[in-house]
Amino acid sequence: MTTLDLTDVLARAAAIKLMIFDVDGVLTDGSLHFGAEGEALKTFNVLDGHGIKQLQHAGVATAIISARRSPIVARRAADLGIAHVQQGVHDKLAGFEQLLQATGMQAADCGFVGDDVIDLPILLRVGFAASVPNGHAEVRSRVHYVTQTRGGQGAARELCDLILRAQGHYEAALAPYLQ
């Protein structure tokens, strides 16, 4: 896969029924900070969170598949109403296949955003594959779209806005704030 033209990107984004997010490097900047008790601390961007909620409101389901396990991710997902959360999944393709079974979706109905080679098995199968500019070069060279915004700094929001625009829901998502 190589980065495709904007017309193709928008057509792919328009078909998405389920958007799946990796966590480290996508919803966070990929940094891990450890507290005194050894717990990993993560920083999430509020723009990303609001974009995910807008996507859900427009009827696009959301999910997380992450290789790491973290109570903070479970809490963030619960705060955002993300129903499908898979953590500690080192075989991401198996996790993706379980998600397809649970939702009844086809791979072509899904979008996925990842940043490292562990994400490639999913990225090579979904209808809309995305990465972030700080993602691994092998990943960036094989996706349909690379965000302008870095992971953990609004990249997920950029993708959510792109999907909302492609599906004709962007203006409706903004309307409550323009009154």
- Report pLDDT digits (tens) over 130-147: 999 999 999 999 999 999
Residues in CB range of 55: below 8 A, 6 or more apart: 19, 62, 160, 163, 164
Model-level pTM? 0.94
Q: Where are the domains positioned within the chain?
A: 6-169
Q: Integer distance in angstroms from the first to the last C-alpha of the chain?
A: 42
**What is the number of residues in the chain?**
179
- Report pLDDT digits (tens) over 6-55: 899 999 999 999 999 999 999 999 877 777 877 677 889 999 999 999 99
For the chain, give the longest Cα–Cα distance.
49
User: Which tokens sit at 124?
Assistant: 């090579």
Residue 154 has pLDDT above 70, yes or no: yes
Residue 95 has pLDDT above 70, yes or no: yes
The C-alpha atoms of residue 157 and residue 27 are separated, in whole angstroms, by 9
- Quick one: pLDDT at residue 4? 62
CATH architecture of 6-169: 3-Layer(aba) Sandwich (3.40)
Q: What is the mean pLDDT of residues 150-172?
A: 97
- Quick one: pLDDT at residue 41? 79
